[in-house]
Structure 1
Amino acid sequence: MPKRVDHEERRRQIADALIRTAATRGLHATGMREIAAEAGVSLRLVQYYFGTKEELLLAAMQHLATQFAERATTRFRQAGGAAGPGGARNVVAAVLAEALPADDERRVFSVVNTAYLALSLTDPALAIGSLVKNSDAVTGVLAEQLRRSQAAGETPTDLNPDLEALSLLAMSAGLATSVLVGQSTIDQAQAAIDYHLHRLFVAP
């Protein structure tokens, strides 16, 4: 009896292979043959699931964004979630910390995400519309937590939650890049995040 193929799992397998290869070789030097070899499948199979490298890149980045969201969710749940005093701060801190390349998994995300964004600036086929939606969703989560914190009296009411959320996300992305290029250390980046969180949240 022929083995049943899980097509979604196969697509994820190939996307993961692109991410691993791009993290070490760079996106510009990662071709379909290299991706096939890393995934342990034929080039024809990669082309069956993804007709072009651009299609594969878009799928891989969406996969990477999903992994980021899942890790951030797990992190803030481990920190106590959004319930109780200081819960909103825990959520915001978890999301911002997840963007820092503090371990291999988060470093891969930062490297590949930064490389992809750079490529998309000059290649119309790599439009980042879907990724912007993911970013907007994260910004929305941060803004909602700030509103909850304001309602609980833990954040100044004169702050604009939407602008603060946008600023925090941009700051964490900039800090991640700073760490990648050696401009700052993980400890310095985390200290900068803690500094801004201390400004936004008063002790419950």
Structure 2
Amino acid sequence: MPKRVDYDQRRREIGAALLRIADTRGLQAASMREVAAEAGVSLRLVQYYFRTKDELLLAGLGYLGEELSARVERHIPRPPTPRGMVTGTLTAVLPTDAEGRRLTRTYAAYYALALAEPKLAAQHGATYPDLLERFLANQIRSAQEAGDVDAAHDPATVAAGLLALTNGLGSSVLGGQRDGAAAQAILTYHLDGLFGGSRP
């Protein structure tokens, strides 16, 4: 009797093939046929699990978000503190190792596609960054309540600035301007200023 493949598992395998293409060649190269070849399955099978390319792209983005969330979880110290949560999250976003570089390149591929396809950006492009900003803002607010961050700061604005700084540092690492350690040192400098020099 042929082995039955779990529906969600198969979707994830196809989504992983898409993300590999995004990392190495960009999403412009990610036709349904190219994804099928990368996944080692037929085009018809890809079309069975994903009716349209947009559906596949959005599923891939969701899987990418799950990978980043798992990386963030590994970078958060125990027991967690507001500064530890902010530091761990932003450190996870930095491309300081092979996994981080892969995630950053893959997100960059989605960003490049969103620039070319405004409809995709308008519908789904800001979902994960918005969630991340809100999470960081909540941690900064908690730090303010604990007296670790100046109450004069607007948490949402600070969170947006920290995320923009981290993304910019990530681009500079991928572009060869600095290495991961230098990017981490710059991020730590700004976090020290925000948290008054307190350590996670």
Q: Do the two structures share a fold, i.e. TM-score over 0.5?
A: yes
Of 92, 95, 110, the residue aligned with 2:86 is 92
Partners of 2:79 and 2:187 lie apart in 1 by 19
1:53 maps to which residue? 53
Quick one: which amino acid aligns to residue 67 of structure 1? E
Q: Do structure 1's residue 172 and structure 2's residue 166 form an aligned pair?
A: yes
1:190 maps to which residue? 184
Partners of 2:79 and 2:123 lie apart in 1 by 30
Q: Under a length normalisation based on structure 2, what TM-score does the superposition of the two structures give?
A: 0.91
2:147 maps to which residue? 153
- 2:97–2:180: 8 Å Cα contact kept in structure 1? no
- Corresponding pairs, count: 198
Quick one: which amino acid aligns to residue 78 of structure 2? G
Q: Report 1:32-111 matches (<5 A).
A: 32-76=32-76, 79-82=77-80, 87-111=81-105
Query: C-alpha root-mean-square deviation of aligned residues, in Å?
Result: 1.7
Quick one: which amino acid aligns to residue 71 of structure 2? R
Partners of 1:65 and 1:161 lie apart in 2 by 23
Q: Under a length normalisation based on structure 1, what TM-score does the superposition of the two structures give?
A: 0.89
Partners of 1:42 and 1:105 lie apart in 2 by 29
Deviation at 1:45, TM superposition (A): 0.5
Of 111, 114, 126, the residue aligned with 1:120 is 114
Q: Extract unaligned runs of 5+ from structure 1.
A: none
Q: Do structure 1's residue 138 and structure 2's residue 136 form an aligned pair?
A: no
Quick one: which amino acid aligns to residue 114 of structure 1? A
